Structure 1
């Protein structure tokens, strides 16, 4: 059960990051990480829960980004210039950059699972009547 909760939290955080930063889901490192999350969820039998957590996080992150831009707190709204077009990077650099950016994002941002996602986890516990002797 603890592993499922951790996986749902990770899916939500990663989705939030993708939505907040506006990353494309077609970026190889994003796709690979999402597929790893989904594969593990499939093994644990909670694929739909993890998929919903990822999508919810992505939506929440995009909303937060839009809200901050409107308030002038986001990078685009704070007067910072957007970087120019990327120059060609050595192969494998994009994945490392994305993973490092995600790790830094988690260090600086504390995200909590929305209550409705936590409520869906209650349905994963076996009924009390099946826990004989506890």
Structure 2
């Protein structure tokens, strides 16, 4: 019986880790069914709370590990991009306006411009209708 409980706890933790690491939703049918199966076995053995906690800890640990690996990948990518950095423009002493133009040119070399997502234009449609606002007519 103790071996069965230990195996169930390990299985719950491993499955939770997998769900957290892969970023699966618990509402997906196969995940929900597998989790319900684990919980059903846990109720039969009288260790429901232990199995639920093991699954939760596994899911948190998996999600944490996934986040760490994603961040590590971004850090590594940043290191690679720094090595491939474009050469800088050298500025000889110049008049003020020319100095600002050169600074702007340097800025353009180091920064990528991005436009805001198109969905931001639709946010104005999400405002509360006037008739629902209190005290306004």
Matched, 1:17 2:46: no
Residues 13-63 of structure 1: CA deviation (Å, up to 9, x unaligned):
000000000000000000000000000000000000000000000000000
How many positions carry a matched residue from both structures? 74
Report deviation, 1:2: 0.3
Structure-to-structure mapping, 1:103-114, within 5 angstroms = none
Identify the structure with bigger relative contact order (alpha carbons < 8 Å, sequence gap 6+). 1
Stretches of structure 2 lacking an aligned partner (at least 5 in a row): 75-137
Distance of 2:20 and 2:30 partners within structure 1: 15
Match of 2:9 in 1: 8
Report deviation, 1:70: 0.2
Superposed structure 1 runs of 4+ greater than 4 Å apart: none
Distance of 1:72 and 1:42 partners within structure 2: 41
Q: Which has the larger radius of gyration?
A: 2
Matched, 1:44 2:10: no
Distance of 2:73 and 2:18 partners within structure 1: 19
Aligned-residue CA RMSD (Å)? 1.5
Stretches of structure 1 lacking an aligned partner (at least 5 in a row): 74-134
